[in-house]
Structure 1
Amino acid sequence: MIEKVKTDKKKLLIYAHYYIPDVASTGQILRELAEGMIDEFDITIVCVVPSYTGKVADEYKKKMFYKEEINGVKVIRVRVPEFSKSNKISRIKNILSYFIGAMIATFKVGKMDYVYSISQPPILGGLLGVWGKWMKRAKYIYNIQDFNPEQTMAVGYSKNKLILKAMMWFDKFSCNQADKVIVVGRDMIETLKGRFKGTKVPNHTFINNWIDEKEIYPLPANHEKVVAFKEKYDLQDKFIIMYSGNLGLYYDLENLMGVIEKFKNREDVVFAFVGEGTIRESLVQYKEKNNLQNVRFIPYQDKSDLIYSLNAGDVHWCLNAKGIKGVSVPSKLYGIIAAGKPILGVLERGSEARLIIEEMQCGYVTTPENYTEIELFIKKTLEQKDTSILAEMGKQGRICLETNLIKDVSIKKYIKEFESC
């Protein structure tokens, strides 16, 4: 029997900021979302040229726009200036270049039935979606991965009340203009309702982020590439407590280093930080100043190698700074659970990530800034490192993930929400 090809696909425009090959977690999610919906929609992505690290390759410096096709998804890339993650001005220039370029690129994509954007870059991601809705007379779906200015306020990135008030007004405007708002945590629904004080709350729903369980899965400790990763970064024959992800402002990592310092004389344990970010340099300086010989800093891993780095860790951190509840959900959680690893969670009560860990019983959890209990949890995992307790926690998480948090489940929910608009 010949399979019938769908010829009447609706057209979907996605503003993505970052897209593959960039390693930003939102870019990876959007790649999987787009490719997962390709049978239902004719999809065009508008994003920056590969530049998540701040650098732009020479082949992307010659034109304003670059058209590509990746696995059936049309991609329009906007050239942006290089930037330093530690320099606010250069980052702002980079983000504004994308915003203006994406607005112009909107005229290059033809008719659209749906427009979808995420809350990255902060505020501007939502406004791009509104722009696309107006220009294309399309239905607009706004996916809030992080609430801003709430996130900005939580970590003190800006204390300018005028700017924060303007940010709130614009993002509420984007929510009101959306035909549907999708948040990624149960706690984030309460934040949305709180913004509108429970009245005239925009049409909304909740869909978990996910991990591709076929790309990230448990591997044996003696797997050739897991062993190679450990040897490359001097981790062999150690109990590895790993942090994998963005080394940014939202995770209280600088204070975590103060707790880690108390274990500086333990030669049987190593604390590995895999990734880049705005505070990486200050963490490295802390390590050197305090002679933390059992701390390692490891570069971002290619997505194809992530399975090996995640499996190298014996226990993984899942952290958020105080004030992030209802604002953001750390996407690293899904990768840890997929790799079948136990979790050391530092998360507020009632936050989505903490609810998942507690429901799956796949780790130990305490509240942000409870450094005494964080230290006790490190001691506890070290006491249990030669038992089966931690392995059983990780195994339990993987079993629950396969039931509730796989890619196909979430993508089907997205398709349903798009088609219901």
Structure 2
Amino acid sequence: MSDHPQSRPAWRGVALRHDDVVDPGDLGHRRDDPVGTRVAFLTQCFHPEPAAIPLGITRSLRAHGMRVQVLTGIPNYPTGKIRQGYSAWRRTSERHDDLHVLRTPLYPSHDRSAAGRAINYVSWAASSTFLGRSVRRHADVALVYGSPITAATSAIAARLRRRMPYVLMVMDLWPDSVFATGFLTGGVKRRIAESALTRLTNLAYRFADHVTVPAPGIRDAIVARGVRPDKVTVVYNWTDEKVMQPTAPDPLFRTRLGLAPDDFVLMYAGNLGSAQRLDVVVEAMARLSDVPHVHLVLIGDGVERQNLRDQAERLGLARVHLVDPVVPQVLPAILAAADLHLVSLADDPLFRITLPSKLQALLACGQPILVCAPGDAARIVTEAGAGFTAPPEDPVRLAEVLRQGLQTPRPQLRAMGRAGHDYYHLHMSEAANTRLLADVITTAANRVRRTR
């Protein structure tokens, strides 16, 4: 299960002239019609880059009746190399499935160089500000996908220049998330960068007409930094509901692993990285040596995969199975072959306000969940009645909670999955959150219209 499990559909692209712009008069927009609100969507990454969430937002808003145009960068993520058919220094205009996309230049870089990454962000902030006016000029409101936060630069300039309203979608905390990834761990450069990013972030919050966040914990953090509570709305990221939905279990999955129908399967599907602290889960499995029918299945790849394999062998745990990644289309049937699903994160302050996208996918698929993570993820599973929670990085307590899961009848586990499915559709679904986002956007646009 990827961090963003939405699939990436095929696009039909038609290149336009560099100065070609959709005529807003052709959109049939009325100033008093909120459904026809014209939205300039500002995001540094967009299809064909692996940016499923921005793509999903544009499709959902358009399906809601909004008129969306995209201002984005030249595709270079995640390799840092410009995709074939594009030039890093030339503005291009395209139409994909009747969606107008304007791309402005940037310095391509996505390596571990702090300088290269900074130039990448700043270069697109500058080019989108000076070369993206054709998209902003024909919009009632801008919607900024604020990761990186420098993507808000263009919207801030338009707000100051002609009072154009914008809604800022905060996907993670800046500058906290930058330095949490290991960039500029100390020294003068760190202090300069942190000061500059903090000022820009505060300006982005200040001039935004509204701010949306993907988790309640991020809302609390932003409010604590001085943003008015009534200015911040939780809009959850949704999963690809055409793929991630309840389905019958894969009848061969257990057989391929040599598992019996009565064996209890705890499954984790996703990135096998250091942030997930899956070594704690393997250690907890070692504490269940008296329960030989419980198995841990880890599906995916990542930097910790070999270490996890070595740990299981060192502990003599033949009941730990590592499975190669699978495509999203077959994942729901594989998920349904397990008894309980794991969401695991390290005990880090940032993770207390982080919702891993696998949580939405599991809820949408109607699967019972064991959350071994701090903060919002555990709160949501508890609130939904969708499973169990254990404190992060505590193998002793995790083993105890696993025993509770083992003692829970399977019909009760399936009932937990159904409760999570109901919770997802009420609070976290595409329909519910597109409505929220559309209301925020049209309110921002109408507020400025009334004052003009």
CA shift in 2, pair 1:396/1:92, >3 Å:
same
CA distance in 2, matches of 1:308, 1:52: 31
CA distance in 2, matches of 1:103, 1:260: 53
User: Where does 1:239-258 land on structure 2 (aligned, <5 Å)?
Assistant: 240-246=265-271, 250-253=275-278, 255-256=280-281, 258=283
> 1:181 deviation in Å?
1.1
> Pick from 241, 245, 255: which aligns with 1:217?
245
CA distance in 1, matches of 2:180, 2:322: 28
Partner of 1:207: 235
CA shift in 2, pair 1:247/1:103, >3 Å:
farther
> Pick from 16, 25, 31: which aligns with 2:43?
16
Question: Is the CA contact (8 Å cut-off) linking 2:69 and 2:135 kept in structure 1?
Answer: yes
Partner of 2:434: 411
Single out whichever of 284-293 and 104-113 deviates more from structure 2. 284-293
CA distance in 1, matches of 2:326, 2:128: 27
> 1:393 deviation in Å?
1.4
Partner of 1:130: 156
CA shift in 2, pair 1:405/1:267, >3 Å:
same
Question: Is the CA contact (8 Å cut-off) linking 2:39 and 2:140 kept in structure 1?
Answer: yes
CA distance in 1, matches of 2:344, 2:96: 33
User: Where does 1:169-188 land on structure 2 (aligned, <5 Å)?
Assistant: 169-188=199-218
- Indicate whether 1:7 and 2:28 are aligned: yes
Partner of 2:343: 318
Question: Is the CA contact (8 Å cut-off) linking 1:12 and 1:43 kept in structure 2?
Answer: yes
> Pick from 90, 114, 129: which aligns with 2:141?
114
Give deviations 1:159-203, integer Å, cap 9, x for gaps. Answer: 43624344333211210011111122333332122112x7x6682
Question: Is the CA contact (8 Å cut-off) linking 2:141 and 2:165 kept in structure 1?
Answer: yes
CA shift in 2, pair 1:307/1:52, >3 Å:
farther
CA distance in 1, matches of 2:153, 2:392: 32
> 1:51 deviation in Å?
5.2
Partner of 1:356: 380
CA distance in 2, matches of 1:268, 1:201: 46
SS of residue paired to 1:146 = coil
Question: Is the CA contact (8 Å cut-off) linking 1:242 and 1:274 kept in structure 2?
Answer: no
Question: Is the CA contact (8 Å cut-off) linking 1:216 and 1:335 kept in structure 2?
Answer: yes
> Pick from 17, 23, 32: which aligns with 2:56?
32
User: Which segments of 5 or more consecutive residues in structure 1 lack a partner in the other structure?
Assistant: none
SS of residue paired to 1:172 = helix
CA shift in 2, pair 1:346/1:99, >3 Å:
farther
Question: Is the CA contact (8 Å cut-off) linking 2:129 and 2:154 kept in structure 1?
Answer: yes
Single out whichever of 51-60 and 374-383 deviates more from structure 2. 51-60
Provide the aligned C-alpha RMSD in A.
3.8
CA shift in 2, pair 1:315/1:98, >3 Å:
farther
SS of residue paired to 1:404 = helix
CA distance in 2, matches of 1:180, 1:257: 43
* Identical amino acids, percent of aligned pairs: 18
> 1:140 deviation in Å?
0.9
Normalising by structure 1, report the TM-score. Answer: 0.77
User: Which segments of 5 or more consecutive residues in structure 2 lack a partner in the other structure?
Assistant: 1-25, 30-35, 445-452
CA distance in 2, matches of 1:95, 1:245: 28
Partner of 2:306: 284
Normalising by structure 2, report the TM-score. Answer: 0.73
Question: Is the CA contact (8 Å cut-off) linking 2:102 and 2:132 kept in structure 1?
Answer: no
Give deviations 1:270-324, integer Å, cap 9, x for gaps. Answer: 432436xxxx22443453466376342634735x455455445543222343313
- Indicate whether 1:345 and 2:371 are aligned: yes
Give deviations 1:377-416, integer Å, cap 9, x for gaps. Answer: 34444555x7333222112211232333321121111111
CA distance in 1, matches of 2:294, 2:157: 55
> 1:334 deviation in Å?
0.9
Question: Is the CA contact (8 Å cut-off) linking 1:117 and 1:141 kept in structure 2?
Answer: yes
CA shift in 2, pair 1:118/1:263, >3 Å:
farther
CA distance in 2, matches of 1:149, 1:204: 18
CA shift in 2, pair 1:413/1:201, >3 Å:
closer
CA distance in 2, matches of 1:49, 1:269: 45
* Total equivalences in the alignment: 396
CA distance in 2, matches of 1:383, 1:100: 59
Counterpart code for 2:28: T
Partner of 1:375: 399
Give deviations 1:114-166, integer Å, cap 9, x for gaps. Answer: 11113312x32344542454467421101112112344566776543624344
Question: Is the CA contact (8 Å cut-off) linking 1:175 and 1:202 kept in structure 2?
Answer: no
CA shift in 2, pair 1:309/1:402, >3 Å:
same
> Pick from 81, 84, 96: which aligns with 1:59?
84
Question: Is the CA contact (8 Å cut-off) linking 2:250 and 2:334 kept in structure 1?
Answer: no
Question: Is the CA contact (8 Å cut-off) linking 2:61 and 2:434 kept in structure 1?
Answer: yes
Counterpart code for 1:393: M
> 1:204 deviation in Å?
2.3
SS of residue paired to 1:173 = helix
